[in-house]
Amino acid sequence: MNFRIIIFILIIVGFAACRKDKPYPSLIDNKNCESFDIVLPPQTYFTNGRYQYKAPCFNPNNSNEFIFHYRDNEIHKFQLFKYNIQTKQKILIAESGKIYGQPKWSKKGWIAYTHTSGYVDHIYVVKENGDSLTQFTDNVANHSPAWDSSGDKLYWSYSPVLGIPYYFLSQNLNAPIPDTLSRSGDIYNGFLRHNTISSDNELLSLVHINNSDSPYLAIASLNKNSLVFSNIINTNKVISYLTISGLCWSNNGEYIYATVPSSGYSNGLYKIGVYNPSIELLMSFCDTKSYTSISASPDGKYIVGERIEREAHSNGEIVENSFIYLIDLHTLEEIKIDFE
């Protein structure tokens, strides 16, 4: 073989060997995640700071926008905001009272959230520009709203008495009454939590199957005539379902992300394969930091989440403050959103 050709091949091979794709880290550098630096007394209790930024959710049509709710605990102000990451513009959407859980944004530009007052929790809907604020439900306890992939139909969990019986309902915005998909006594017992729906119209929930004591992390297609959870997510007991505090789909529907703030195995942010038995710890949590409500951007680049930071005091008080952070899904860099 010609000597020049041999040299050329060796050079090409050398470049190929040196070229490496940027690695996808499996665990964030937790230099800012530490255990409490004091010895706590046997009796501890939790309090909240004055300003809290909670439960963000991305706009399914725009990766630069998300909603969140804000609390000023001193003057009892509760507000729902829309925020644009690029322009840094914060717009007030609603100020109807205290919000419980994570608001959800539909592809048709509607936002649903649970308004809580005493022992009565109603779901409200409002347009993304702040118009047409409407109480959507009646009776007592209505939680965990989620929009279908079209953005026309709302799904949620309901109880008339803040306990058994439980129901899982769905209703189009213009329909007069909801449809009952599950209720206490059937195979799913009506008690579904952390409901989130993919772009393929697949419902992900924590659900009790056949009156099981512990819930399953399971998936049901909403394109079928009846509710059937046919796909049980296997985490190989790496995490405890009971301790999951946040769930969301990846943008392509191949993975789910889950936050586990307290577990007998490991606390952290997990990436779990839906159709393959993979589970990856992306970020570990600790005494001073964890995440709860999360949402993935439609372009697949970021998770936006409620980060809870804790400070311990010698009298046993643990003060919690909630902030909104972006997590880069390629580098796992955490970026704090400054709303002021």
Is pTM beyond 0.75? Reply is yes
Architecture of domain 46-336: 6 Propeller (2.120)
Q: Is the pLDDT of residue 150 over 90?
A: yes
CA torsion sign, 41 to 47 to 52 to 58?
Answer: positive
**Identity (one letter) of the amino acid at 322?**
S
Of 229 and 5, the structure prediction assigns the larger pLDDT to 229
Query: Where exactly are the structural domains of the chain?
Result: 46-336
Which SS3 state, helix, strand or coil, does residue 126 take? strand
Report cis status (omega within 30 of 0) of the bond before 165.
yes
Q: Is the pLDDT of residue 117 over 60?
A: yes
Which SS3 state, helix, strand or coil, does residue 17 take? helix
**What mean pLDDT do residues 60-76 have?**
97
Q: Which of 91-105, 155-169, 209-223, 229-243 has the lowest mean pLDDT?
A: 229-243
pLDDT, tens digit, 9 for 90 and up, residues 266-293: 789 999 999 887 899 999 998 889 999 9
pLDDT band at 28 (very low <50, low <70, confident <90, very high): very low
- Looking at residue 236, its pLDDT comes to 65
Count of Cβ atoms closer than 10 Å to residue 214 Cβ = 10
**What mean pLDDT do residues 97-103 have?**
94
Q: CA gyration radius for the chain? A: 22
Overall residue count recorded for the chain in this entry: 340
CA distance 85 to 328: 13
- Looking at residue 12, its pLDDT comes to 37
How many helices (H) and strands (E) would you count in the chain?
1, 25
Q: Is the pLDDT of residue 29 over 60?
A: no
Which SS3 state, helix, strand or coil, does residue 7 take? helix
Q: Is the pLDDT of residue 255 over 90?
A: yes
CA distance 52 to 107: 27
CA distance 142 to 116: 9
Chain position carrying tokens 């439980």: 166
pLDDT band at 147 (very low <50, low <70, confident <90, very high): very high
